[in-house]
């Protein structure tokens, strides 16, 4: 089973730098595909990305929580038009470059979130979405 990057991803990007098979790419266009995504057909399930993510957004597919309990102030990102995701996020990637996301929300301490829907979104990116074609888009 591959690993899944969940909607707790804020495009920090260090996960992609440690992937030995280079199967992690940023979603494009960002408004529709706001996360980084793992190609399930290429992922070797090594787990290097899990410990590298400072936002704890990556899980083995079988371990993606249906009942994630927020510690508080985690950022959750979704595609444009998702109800309730109307706060901008400004942060930095692993190299110190600015990251801006338009469609996020802050989780509150104790809030329960189902992250399993992110599993299908990851597969959709490579099956129905732009997948690796996004590497050539600006």
Per-residue confidence band for 28, with pLDDT thresholds at 50, 70 and 90 = very high
Amino acid 138: pLDDT: 42
Host domain of residue 91: 3-131
Amino acid 2: pLDDT: 93
Does residue 101 form part of some domain? Answer: yes
Q: How far is CA 119 from CA 3, 61, 64, in A?
A: 9, 7, 8
Does residue 136 form part of some domain? Answer: no
Does residue 28 form part of some domain? Answer: yes
Q: How far apart are CA 62 and CA 78, in angstroms?
A: 21
The overall average pLDDT reported for the chain is 94
pLDDT tens readout for residues 75-112: 999 999 999 999 999 999 999 999 999 999 999 999 99
Region 23-50: mean pLDDT is 95
Q: How far apart are CA 56 and CA 96, in angstroms?
A: 19
Q: At 109, which CATH number? A: 3.30.70.20
> Got the DSSP string for 69-108?
EP-SS-EEE--TT-TT--EEEEEE-TTS-EEEEEEEEEPP
What residues pair up with 35 in beta bridges, in sequence order? none
Quote the radius of gyration of the chain (alpha carbons, Å).
14
Domain count along the chain: 1
Check if the beta carbon of residue 12 is closer than 8 Å to that of residue 94: yes
Does residue 79 form part of some domain? Answer: yes
Per-residue confidence band for 136, with pLDDT thresholds at 50, 70 and 90 = very low
In the predicted model, is pLDDT for residue 137 greater than 60? no
Does residue 18 form part of some domain? Answer: yes
Does residue 89 form part of some domain? Answer: yes
Region 14-33: mean pLDDT is 95
Does residue 83 form part of some domain? Answer: yes
39 SS3 class = coil
The reported pTM is 0.92
Does residue 138 form part of some domain? Answer: no
């Amino acid at each position: 089973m591959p690993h899944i990057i969940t909607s707790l991803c804020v495009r920090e990007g260090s996960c992609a730098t440690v992937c030995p098979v280079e199967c992690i790419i940023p979603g494009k266009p960002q408004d529709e595909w706001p996360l980084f995504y793992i190609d399930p057909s290429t992922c070797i399930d090594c787990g290097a990305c899990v410990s590298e993510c400072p936002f704890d957004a990556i899980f083995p597919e079988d371990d993606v929580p249906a009942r994630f309990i927020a510690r508080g102030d985690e950022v959750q990102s979704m595609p444009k038009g998702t109800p309730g995701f109307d706060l901008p996020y400004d942060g930095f990637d692993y190299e110190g470059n600015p990251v801006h996301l338009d469609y996020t929300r802050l989780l509150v301490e104790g809030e329960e979130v189902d992250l399993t829907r992110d599993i299908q979104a990851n597969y959709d990116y490579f099956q129905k979405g732009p997948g690796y074609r996004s590497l050539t888009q600006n």
